[in-house]
Amino acid sequence: MAHPPFDPRHAAHPTGSRPAPILTLKIDGQDVGARSGDTILTVARENDIHIPTLCHLEGLSTLGACRLCLVEVAGANRLLPACVTAVREGMAVTTRSERLQTYRRKLLELFFSERNHVCAVCVSNGHCELQDLADTLGMTHVRYDYLYPPAAIDASHPRFSVDHNRCILCLRCLRACEEIEGAHTWDVMGRGIDCRVITDLNQPWGESESCTGCGKCVQVCPTGALTEKGRAVAEMVKNKEFLPYLRIMRRRTF
Ligand code: SF4
Ligand code: SF4
Ligand code: FES
């Protein structure tokens, strides 16, 4: 029996057998194709269009917390976060404009003003995503008052430390620990300026019974908040390429 002609709208989704209607839209004036349900960020990355991100990490669930990935969408009366905004047929997205750069720089300045990010004395100096973004987005100074809330360092774990002065509350650690390692050691406590990531029921990390010591949270932390003990500043490179693979393995196992 002859097969019906191939219809790309019914092509299988790469991560499963779900039919994926094809949408067309424009990003920065370029025509791109997308699957229904894709986010603007996914489609932009597939087409080598760079959108800055901080809380987003491939392989973890999306949070939409940092707002660094804001883009302009024609017809929308506000800026939208690319990592949690689904594409629509005919959408026109702008990822680069002076307005977006201004907002992104302001957001970075707010991150820098909220806690103590003195890069010169940070163990992750030179290997920090916050620092890299400040550099690439041309942030030259902080025009907000520094808040410097009292924030502790917990070095009770035999292999790792957490310095709350460097934490930007991206919650990558929490998501990696819960979604990849399955330990759910990290949680969040408090509000506003008092908000902190905590281990178990806010006990020292070294006393945590749920922590397996796998180090995944340390590897995904974008700043010097989570670090491995006994490493020099030059060795503080984070390795997070393992995440998408572990996630796929987990899906296959359960
Ligand atoms: S070391 Fe592993 S188990 Fe322990 S808190 Fe980090 S991710 Fe969770
Ligand atoms: S400790 Fe690191 S990974 Fe966790 S919320 Fe803070 S900055 Fe993000
Ligand atoms: S990367 Fe989109 S909100 Fe953080």
Is the pLDDT at 241 greater than 80, yes or no? no
Quickly state the pLDDT bin for 245 (edges 50, 70, 90): confident
Ligand 3 atom with the shortest distance to the CA of 170: 4
Query: Mean pLDDT in the chain?
Result: 89
Q: 216 is written with which tokens?
A: 């995944």
Q: At how many degrees (to 10) do helices 129-136 and 98-114 cross?
A: 140
Residue 232 structure tokens:
């020099």
Cα–ligand 2 centroid distance for 170 (angstroms): 5
Task: For the chain, give the percent of residues with pLDDT over 90.
Answer: 80
Q: What is the CB < 6 Å shell around ligand 3? A: 53-56, 64-69, 81, 83
| Overall pTM > 0.75 | yes
Among 127, 171, 196, name the best residue to mutate to test ligand 2's pocket (greatest count of ligand atoms within 8 A of Cβ). Answer: 171
Instruction: Give me the pLDDT at residue 79, please.
Output: 97
168 lines ligand 1 (CB under 6 A): no
Query: Ligand 2 pocket: which residues have CB below 6 Å?
Result: 167-173, 197, 221-223, 225-226
Phi, psi of 96 (to 5 degrees): -130, 120
C-alpha of residue 152 to centroid of ligand 3, in Å: 26
pLDDT tens-digit readout, 71-105: 999 999 999 999 999 999 999 999 999 999 999 99
pLDDT of residue 13: 45
